[in-house]
Chains A and B, each alone.
Chain A
């Protein structure tokens, strides 16, 4: 179908008249007005820039890895360098990009607006958690520049105690500590905001599902991250004083370190995926112009995932010599998590049914998410089942699995969300045609990169290998080609967004026809979001939202 059919984003629309004179972007000028701002929207934008640039950094490392693996031996990196590269790829992507990406960047911008409040509960705390994030970034860059971290992002002991890169390990662990608190305070802020600051009429079940997801995420952030804090603190004490709690040379127990680490880092997986699911719920309903299917099931399943997520960390340790009983218990609990995730997928499909699907950039990313996340989820089954996991554990099968969930899931949803709310954040429309092209390239490139890795893994190719057996080479080369495609797709997406800032049409109040509160205020929103508490209705009631040719956007029929 031709894109021009869809009036929503077509570039030849009549001049937008609802563009606001004063909004948060021009509310005040100067560097300090941004550096010291307490406005959640500006903090959100600063996060957005931050996480996107750290994603670029991590992605660069990813490409270095893939290019190195083109040959089964004598790649262009030495073993040491390769180890440092994959470590930094993992650490930067996890701690600097995925975890803050959706909650801290989009969440910060959207939560108060969707909720109908002026700001989050603790604006200063909000700003300080941004600066904590910056501090963490700086510490990671030092770790990178001092000697290069080579422990893997999991800092497993005793390697992290024995490695020669002591300075890097210290810098990185402190970085993780600081980033942990950044994430804790964001979560804390959101929980309080949602609990105590909902305007009259905004009952729990009138909250958009994105907010439910953010709420569930925040619970995990507050409950799990402190354990990571103490873990890395003890680890740096290991390095500095040799306290020996995790050091077998002092009768310490490395397996205990893994328990400590994964008690955070598994729930962290849900910190990454839950907000992504929230975004998809929004995108599906808005771009199908149809209420979300099974609202309550989705809301409850978010909370269920958040809580079950705490019961399954052991499945990262199935082969590490846990006691058999623990292993089996953890395996059983692992499967409980799969159910709520499945429910969500089915509900999204139900949302499309009999809807009015507008195939624009955000929607295509959302559909890509469903495809990729389903693969990611399903390939979790053989990893949760014990006997098969004995074979797949620590192979490329795992690598492919979590990339399908983390990248195919979270990153794609993040991109979809950025495209979806870009007009609201910047007041500019992007070029939808090019956006669609980027979505398709990303989708193809992604599968080309990671599908071969499933086969690699099941044929026994271990993770974190700088050199490998010649028979694996063809699949590795396929994967490398895919990664380059993927990279170019992401680059195109970035270009589309930046171009919109230069020559994008001014965005209407409600370009997609959403029914949640953020579409009720101008784009970009004014400094205080709402001068008076907005009237709250059903966030998914599209019956009286109609396209209005004059503004090029949608309006509520009154």
Chain B
């Protein structure tokens, strides 16, 4: 944390990438921007393609993995985190920890009391919304009561 104090500014915080002529600014080389962009595009195509096959549950993980790779590219290069002060990296990664905490506990609990849930309760709001079955012109009965 120390290197964030105004007293001790050092450009090493910018990952040793020279550019001292630009002061503390650190322009990204164009080739890098473009290659990151095309990598992202490629990954998008891949994820769309893989969604054509039915992989069952694996599909979720496949898509999420690809998405995470893309997200990493965006954060590291476009958002410049690779050359940024470590504190900023800590900040954003820390937030992910708390997201994990939040989702983790809530989902774990929801899974825990799942068997107690009453489904398709015959409360008005959850009636099926198809009023009439054209073949037998009679109202389709509500979902069976528990």
Contacts and interface: CB of A to CB of B under 8 A. Distances in A.
Interface of A: 195-201, 203-204, 223, 227, 242, 244, 247-251, 253, 255-256, 259-260, 263, 310-311, 314, 321-326, 330
B5 A255 contact: no
Secondary structure dominating the interface of B: helix
Contact of A251 (B87, B101, B113, B126): B126
Interface string B103-134: 00110111111001101110111100000000
B113 A321 contact: yes
A350 B119 CA distance: 59
A204 B1 contact: yes
A223 B95 contact: yes
B35 interface: no
B126 A197 contact: no
Contacts of B106: 256, 259-260, 263
B98 interface: yes
A247 B117 CA distance: 13
B10 interface: no
B126 A250 contact: yes
16 contacts: A195-B87, A198-B5, A200-B7, A201-B7, A204-B2, A223-B95, A242-B125, A249-B125, A250-B126, A253-B117, A255-B109, A310-B98, A311-B101, A314-B105, A322-B113, A324-B112
Nearest to B101: A310
A262 B101 CA distance: 13
Chain A interface helix/strand/loop/mixed: helix
Contacts of B7: 198, 200-201
Contacts, number: 73
B105 A326 contact: yes
A231 to B, nearest CB: 11
Contact of B1 (A195, A263, A330): A195
A200 B119 CA distance: 63
B112 A197 contact: no
Which 4 A-B pairs give the minimum distances between C-beta atoms? Answer: A323-B112, A326-B109, A249-B125, A259-B106
A244 B125 CA distance: 10
Which of B87, B101, B119 has the most chain A CB within a 10 Å cutoff? B101
A465 B129 CA distance: 40
A341 B24 CA distance: 42
